[in-house]
C-alpha cells in the first residue's frame, strides 16, 4: 500500500506523519486497562473449578 501511495514529486519541506492521534488512543487504552485492573478487585477468580485443590495429583 505504501508503494501505491508514494508521491511522484519531492516536497520542499520534510513531511512528518501526525502521530498525536495514535498516541492519544494508546494513552486512552492504557487508562482503560488501569481502570479495569482496579475494577477487577483483589484477586483472580476462575470459573468452573472446584473450591479447593490440594495438589495431591502431583
Partner 1 sequence: MQDNKLDSSFKKVVAQITDIGKAWHSDDLIINAKNNVEPDQKSLKDLPPLSAAKQQQAIVISAGPSLHKKNQLEKIKASHYQGTIVAIDGSLVKCLKQGIIPDYVLTLDPHPTRMVRWFGDDNFIEHTKNDDYFSRQDLDINFRNNSIAENEANIALINQYAPQIKLIICSSAPKNVVKRAKEAGFQMYWWNPIVDDPQQAQSLTRAIYQINKFPCMNTGGNVGTAAWVFTNAILNIGRIALTGMDLGYHLDTPVEMTQTYYELQEFANSPEEFNAFFPKFTYPATGEVFYTDPTYYWYRHNFLQLLEKAAGETFNCSEAGTLFADNLPCMPLNEYIN
**Which residues contribute to the site for partner 1 (CB under 8 A)?**
31-55, 57-58
CB of 21 to partner 1, least distance (A): 19
CB of 50 to partner 1, least distance (A): 6
Half-sphere exposure of 24 (CA within 13 A, CB side): 4
- Residue 10's SS3 state is coil
**Cβ nearer to partner 1, comparing 21 with 47:** 47
**Cβ nearer to partner 1, comparing 15 with 47:** 47
Amino acid at each position: 500500500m505504501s508503494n501505491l501511495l508514494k508521491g511522484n514529486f519531492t516536497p520542499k519541506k520534510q513531511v512528518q506523519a501526525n502521530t498525536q492521534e495514535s498516541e492519544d488512543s494508546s494513552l486512552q487504552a492504557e487508562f482503560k486497562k488501569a481502570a479495569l485492573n482496579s475494577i477487577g478487585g483483589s484477586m483472580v477468580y476462575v470459573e468452573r473449578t472446584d473450591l479447593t485443590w490440594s495438589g495431591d495429583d502431583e
